[in-house]
Amino acid sequence: MPRKGIFWNGDEKRLRSFWRLTIQGVAWVALVVILQAIIETIAILIAVAEGTISQEMLSNLTILERLLLRSPLVVLGLKFSELLVTLGTVWLAGRLLDRRRFVDFGFRFDKNWWIDLGFGLFLGAFSFALIFAVERAAGWLTVTGTFVTRNPSVPFPITILLPLLIFIMVGIEEELFSRGYQLTNLAEGLNWKRIGPRGAIVLATVGSSVFFGLLHGINPNATLVSTLNLMVAGLALATGYVLTGELAIPIGYHIAWNFFQGNVFGFQVSGMDFRSATFIAIRQGGPELWTGGAFGPEAGLLGLGMDVLGIALIVLWVWLRYRRFGLHAPIAEPPDRPA
C-alpha cells in the first residue's frame, strides 16, 4: 500500500492539494510582479521621453501611480500580463502537479458550453439593468449624458473597446484562477471519507469565495460590507461551475457584470473607475447602505440582492437545461487519466 504523507499522495501519485495551490499561487504572484514591473518601467521611460513626466517626478510614486492608471494602454498591458500568467501557471500546474488536462478546469468547448456562456452574459447584463432601473426609480441616480468618452478626439466605438477587452480578460483570468484552479484543488483536498465529494465542494466553494472577497478588500474605497458582499458574489460566480463542472456560466456572468456595471450604466466597478467611455453617464446619490457609495453597487444591499437572485436564476437555468439539480461531484475527484 502506498505511503501517505503531508507532501505526497501515494494513492494519486502527486503532491497534495495544499502544495499544488501554494506552488501555483507563488509562481503566479512572482511572474505577475515581474511582468508588471517591466510594463510599468517601459511606460515610465516612454512618458519621460515624450515629456509627459519629468525626471524630478520620478521620485514621486503617487504621481507615477496616477499616470500609470490613467493610461489605458498600460492598464490593458497589465491585465493582459495577468491573463497570460494565469493561463500559463494553471496549464503548467495542471500538467506537472495536478496531472490534469487544461480542459478539465472547465473548458470543454462543446455546444452546451457556448449556450451556457450566452446565459452568463445575459445574466450579468440583466443584473445591472435591474439595479439601474431600481436606483433610477428611487431617485438615487441622475443620468448626466449618453455615449460619453473622456477623450472626445477618439470615436466612442473605439474608446469603448478598451474596457470591453479588459473585462473579457478579467472574467477569464479570475474565473480560471478562483474557480477553475483554486476551488477544484480545495475540493480535492477536502474530499475526505467523512465529508465526501459533495461536502468537499461545498466547503471549497465557501473557502474560495472568502478568498475572492478578501482579494477585493484591497481595492479603493473598500469596506467591510463590500468585502462581505464580494464573498457572496464569489458564491454566485461559483454556482454555475459547481453545478455544471464548466466555467462557461461564471465567465459570461463575470464579464457582463463588470462591463454593464462600469461602461453601460456608469457605476464604479469594485471601487475602481474604468469609465473611459460609458453608454450612460450618471451622478450617484441615494443611501450608501443600498447603493454602495464610492465602491459601487457591489457594496450595497442592491448588489447583494442581485447576487442572491443570480444564484437562484443559475440554479433554475441548470434545471431547465439539464433536468438535474446537484453538485458536479467530479470536481472533487482526482483525474481518471494522465494529463
pTM over 0.85: yes
User: In this predicted model, what pLDDT tens digit does every residue of 181-234 receive, in sequence order?
Assistant: 999 999 999 998 899 999 999 999 999 999 999 988 888 888 899 999 999 999
Q: Rounded mean pLDDT of the chain?
A: 89
DSSP string, 307-339: HHHHHHHHHHHHHHHHS--S--GGGGS--SS--
Reply yes or no on whether the pLDDT at 66 is more than 60: no
Lowest mean pLDDT among 21-30, 72-81, 110-119: 72-81
User: In this predicted model, what pLDDT tens digit does every residue of 138-172 receive, in sequence order?
Assistant: 999 999 999 998 878 888 988 899 899 999 999 99
Reply yes or no on whether the pLDDT at 58 is more than 60: no
**Residue 4 or residue 104, greater confidence:** 104
Residue 49 near residue 42 (C-beta atoms within 8 A): no
Could you give the count of Cα atoms lying within 13 Å of 256 in the half-sphere of its Cβ?
A: 21
C-alpha cell belonging to residue 104: 478539465
pLDDT score for 217 = 84
2 pLDDT tier (thresholds 50, 70, 90): very low
C-alpha cell belonging to residue 147: 455615449
Q: Using CA atoms, how far apart are residues 243 and 328, in angstroms rounded to an integer?
A: 5
**Residue 39 or residue 28, greater confidence:** 28
C-alpha cell belonging to residue 45: 521611460
User: In this predicted model, what pLDDT tens digit does every residue of 293-338 receive, in sequence order?
Assistant: 989 999 999 999 999 999 999 999 999 999 888 899 999 998 875 4
Residue 71 near residue 77 (C-beta atoms within 8 A): no
Provide the terminal-to-terminal Cα distance of the chain, rounded to the nearest Å.
Answer: 24
Reply yes or no on whether the pLDDT at 47 is more than 90: no
